[in-house]
Amino acid sequence: MQDWANAFEDFADNAALGEALELAISVDTAVAHLTYSLGEPRSPLNCFDTYWRWLEV
């Protein structure tokens, strides 16, 4: 696992890394939404009582 947090200067850096990943695993944050909007595979981490909309993906 690699922590890239200190390497990002803006949201475009997040997008560039998201496009390079084979799979993004993230909690429900901007990263999850960004990778989804780029058409990249992602797996959201949710709590045990997940929100119903995630089940429709």
pTM to 2 decimal places = 0.58
Residue 36 confidence (pLDDT) = 80
Residue 56 confidence (pLDDT) = 61
Nearest to 31 by CA among 56, 47, 42: 42
Range of the domain at 32: 5-56
Residues of the chain with pLDDT under 70: 28, 46-57
Nearest to 20 by CA among 4, 57, 44: 4
CB neighbours of residue 24 within 10 Å: 18
Domain count, the chain: 1
Do 42 and 35 touch, CB atoms closer than 8 A? yes
Residue 54 confidence (pLDDT) = 59
